[in-house]
Amino acid sequence: MATITYLTTVQFGFGELKTIAPGLTDLKIARPLIVADRGLAATDLIQRLRSASPLLGNAPLFVDTPTNPTEEAVEAALALYREHDCDGLVAIGGGSPIDLAKGVALLAGHDGPLETYAAILGGIPKVTGKVAPVIAVPTTAGTGSEVGRAALITLKDGRKLGFISPHLIPKLAICDPELTLGLPAMLTAATGMDALTHCIETYLSPRENPPAEAIALDGLKRAALNIERATKDGSDREARKEMLMAALQGGLTFQKGLGAVHALSHPLGGLKQVSLHHGTLNAVLLPAVLRFNEQASGAKYAEIRRVLGLSADADLAAWVAGLTQRLGLPGSLSQMGVPRDVLPAIAEAATQDHSSATNPRQASAADYLAMLEASFG
Ligand SMILES: [Zn+2]
């Protein structure tokens, strides 16, 4: 167990859910809105959360969070927040409820529409300290959103945009591995590959930030050592704890910026005709992006190989593809149901994504299209 203060206060360890009661008091939240999703509502996790504080026992609950959070869902949750005169949010679940709660927290203190605050549209300085406080309780080990400054939300016109500000960072993250023990194998694998991708992409980002790079490499090592164990045996407490730490570390390094994998997976995640899991998308896209970036990242690739215990001439892209296959995840975009005819538009959208700017090698729409073709299968 440890108390870590980096940007968010983090309570980490088995049984730490109990710290939510003093956490609510410290943040002066008296009337919280709980944000979750339908998948979580089918488990006992919301009940366990409610039991952890009297303030949560009868708190209003929003469960209609889509896999990829939408502006419509933010508005519906905001209406519930206002109806109950709430003064803060508790988001429990994977990245989707946490990102949705950030969107609600933003609009609770700022005039809409949401688009005004999108990073790519110049919205970053418009987000102020009026964002309502958020406590994040992750139940997957992947997103890192519990300590991240971004929320990814699909607007009504279909654009999946990033909302980025230090004010959007949850004030408190409660990372209790006990809550991840029941996560099904495929979700363990997919969300775990998201965490692993965060560590690789932030490490490769050209932004100068050695402390964040050290965290990213440590997170990568934990993820690589434990993702198969946690997927094979969900009750492996040590592996669960290590994966939750890897996810947290991936999130702590978001300040360096992500790269081409996320520049591509964001618009793919915004597709309306097919619902695509973010972590699975990243696992499928990562090999092609690693091949594309290699010429710009030689020394860093050597360091990644060293951390992973691979030989000096090992093919990192092949290592990732092998891992994805052993985890039982889809190996290509076509297997995931992505229609081929959307690829040119996705490639174009990737050049506009906020993560594109921190890819180590500048990628044009043609480059992105080539990476998509290589991942299509
Ligand atoms: Zn991600």
pLDDT at 3: 47
Same-domain check for residues 242 and 113: no
Among candidate residues 314, 96, 316, the one with its CA nearest the CA of residue 203: 316
What whole-number distance in Å separates Cα of residue 148 and Cα of residue 90?
A: 15
Q: Which of 179, 210, 245 is the last residue of a domain?
A: 179
**Total domains, the chain:** 2
Same-domain check for residues 61 and 43: yes
Ligand 1 centroid–CA 25 distance in Å is 31
Ligand 1 centroid–CA 270 distance in Å is 14
pLDDT at 270: 87
**Residue 271 amino acid letter:** L
In a domain, 19, yes or no: yes
Residue identified by tokens 């688009």 is 115
Q: Which residues does 113 contact at the CB level (< 8 Å), separation at least 6?
A: 71
pLDDT at 5: 43
Ligand 1 centroid–CA 143 distance in Å is 6
Ligand 1 centroid–CA 156 distance in Å is 22
Average pLDDT, the chain: 95
Ligand 1 centroid–CA 96 distance in Å is 11
Answer with the residue of higher pLDDT: 108 or 255.
Answer: 108
In a domain, 348, yes or no: yes
Contact present, 216 and 106 (Cβ < 8 Å): no
Name the band, by pLDDT with cuts 50, 70 and 90, for residue 298.
Answer: confident
Looking only at the bridges linking them, the beta strands covering 32-35 and 88-93 are parallel
Same-domain check for residues 77 and 208: no
| Structural domain span for residue 109 | 9-179
Ligand 1 centroid–CA 58 distance in Å is 32
In a domain, 268, yes or no: yes
Residue identified by tokens 């297997």 is 335
Name the band, by pLDDT with cuts 50, 70 and 90, for residue 318.
Answer: very high
- What CATH number corresponds to the domain at position 293? 1.20.1090.10
- The average pLDDT across 188-198 equals 97
pLDDT at 6: 64
Q: Which of 131, 158, 179 is the last residue of a domain?
A: 179
Contact present, 27 and 172 (Cβ < 8 Å): yes
pTM of the full predicted structure?
Answer: 0.93
In a domain, 2, yes or no: no
Q: Which residues pair with 174 in a beta bridge?
A: 11
Residue identified by tokens 């309306």 is 272
Ligand 1 centroid–CA 2 distance in Å is 25
Whether the predicted pLDDT of 207 surpasses 80: yes
Q: Which of 110, 145, 179 is the last residue of a domain?
A: 179
Among candidate residues 155, 231, 217, the one with its CA nearest the CA of residue 189: 231
